[in-house]
Structure 1
Amino acid sequence: MKLSIREKKVLYDFACPNHHNTVTRLKWLTALTVDPQAKHRMLELARKMETEMEESWYTGFYHQLRTEMDEYYRAKRRLRLAKENTDYEEDLYDEAV
């Protein structure tokens, strides 16, 4: 199953190790969502999880998703820290002047 980064973020925030509970939770979130586009995306994800994901494979998928997204957020944090701690623009400006 192919998931976009947006879908992975939603699952990272709202999924649990139980397949049935995750699908139910996504459907409840769909019902509570106000924005029509977001509602469509949430319903699409809930249907995708319900139809394309085997319940027997879900536990492994869940743990793999958690690991992947933990690494994604760590890498994002490292990039943010690297940007904050570099002064390339000022150095280049001083050299040009």
Structure 2
Amino acid sequence: MSMNDKKILFTFGCPNRGLTVTRLCHAAALAVDPTAKKNFFRLAVMLIEEATDDGYRNFFYNMRLEVERVPHHKYVPDSQPVPVDMSIRDYHKRMKDHLSERRDRYRRMMK
């Protein structure tokens, strides 16, 4: 099973194989991207044909442990200070200016 399949199962899966297959079919029906739709259906068919309920449950828990162990971002220790680009006051001022500019632009469009 590829890492993409494991990520799909991590997102849409649960220990109950029947519910996972149903959820994958619904996700495939809602998917816009043809590749994603194909991957969802392929994975649902694979789970229907090849897995048993007990075997799937064991596989699912082991797969979750494996995917959670893989780092998805760069690790930053808690003791390292977080760089801040601007102060809170400057951020609030920038957001206030941005919102007033959007409000003014909207009013000009409505005239």
Give unmatched runs, 5+ long, in structure 1.
86-97
Structure 1 vs Structure 2 CA RMSD: 1.6
Higher relative contact order (CA 8 A, sep 6+): 1
Moved over 2 A (4+): none
Q: Which residue number in structure 1 is paired with residue 45 of structure 2? A: 47
- Distance in 1 separating the partners of 2:28 and 2:22: 10
Greater C-alpha Rg: 2
- Distance in 2 separating the partners of 1:76 and 1:39: 24
TM-score by length of 2: 0.64
Give unmatched runs, 5+ long, in structure 2.
81-111
Alignment length, in residue pairs?
Answer: 77
TM-score by length of 1: 0.72
Shift of 1:4: 0.6
Q: Which moved more, 1:25-34 or 1:47-56?
A: 47-56
Structure (1/2) with the larger helix percentage: 1
Cα distance per residue 1:10-61 (max 9 Å; x no partner): 1001101111000110011111111111111111111111111112211111
